[in-house]
Amino acid sequence: MVVPTMNTEILKYAGLGALANPSVQKHLDGKTIVKKIIVPDKIVNFVVK
């Protein structure tokens, strides 16, 4: 999803804060991120395999 009012570079790096969280890292350990779903100022979801 590309929001016209948001800079796409900001959206590309929006999930980095979540990835740095140890709690998130625990759930992603050993998995491959297939897709990032980012709703600005709301939520970051990762689809994993």
Predicted confidence at residue 49, as pLDDT, reads 96
- Rounded to two decimals, the pTM is 0.66
Q: How far apart are CA 34 and CA 11, in angstroms?
A: 16
Terminal alpha carbon distance of the chain: 21
In degrees and rounded to multiples of 5, residue 34 shows phi and psi of -95, -35
Give the tens place of pLDDT for each residue, 2-44.
555 567 667 667 788 888 899 999 999 999 999 989 887 788 9
Tokens 């979801």 map to which residue? Answer: 45
d(CA 39, CA 18): 13
